[in-house]
Amino acid sequence: MTTPLVSHDDVVAVVTRWRDTHGASSSVLTRSFVDDVCGGRDLERWQDVRAEDVFVFVSPRPRMLLAVRSAIVLLPILLTWLALSQVIDPYATYVQNVDSSANFLWFWQSNPEGAFASHWRLSHVALVDAGLIAALVVLSVRISWHETAVLERDEREYDELIQVVNVYVAQYQAVQQVLPMREQPEPSLQHQSPPKLHQELAPQ
């Protein structure tokens, strides 16, 4: 007997792994196929179905990391404008009452006479902005690496899944075609009529 290229245990392992990884995005059709294959029942209804129609390629994205990155993108801008709102009024007062030629950036960094809270100084705000931008860069690299690694893994698993399921279904079709031929009864010799002799050769 020829050993099958794909055994039942092989296809069960592959489809189960795909179901466990992508179960949340699986359709009713996919779940029905996996249940039938794992249970070894009703396989005849799947013999004309392509694996590509049952399993749709899906690769999950790191939604939480993407949401955090989207929030961090705006934080440096928000912090800078908030700092400006705290410095502009004291600067206007300083220019009007003390030094009309005072440079705004000098005032923002020097904070003469403690005109505003020290944590709004230019160097402090710039340092925090730099930290946020650095975190944004690291997070973007992390997301890109994660998406690439997960995508490559899912593509390998999906290719293996499609190959295994298609071969398994083809094997099942071949078995189904052979079985009716084996079940046909062979003609019995007892019911066959003896051959008739030609009239000239028949005994007188």
Q: Which residue has the tokens 């999950």?
A: 60
Indicate if the alpha-carbon torsion angle 41, 46, 47, 52 is positive or negative: negative
Q: Are 138 and 155 in contact (CB under 8 A)?
A: no
| Distance between CA atoms of residues 153 and 116, nearest Å | 54
| Distance between CA atoms of residues 36 and 47, nearest Å | 12
Q: Are 54 and 30 in contact (CB under 8 A)?
A: yes
pLDDT digits (tens, 9 = 90+) for 113-158: 899 999 999 999 999 999 999 999 999 998 989 888 888 888 888 8
Give me the amino acid identity at 40: G
Burial label for 37, CB within 10 Å (0-12, 13-18, 19+), is buried
Say what the pTM is.
0.61
Intervals of the chain under pLDDT 70:
1-2, 24-25, 178-204
pLDDT of residue 22: 77
pLDDT of residue 201: 44
pLDDT of residue 132: 93
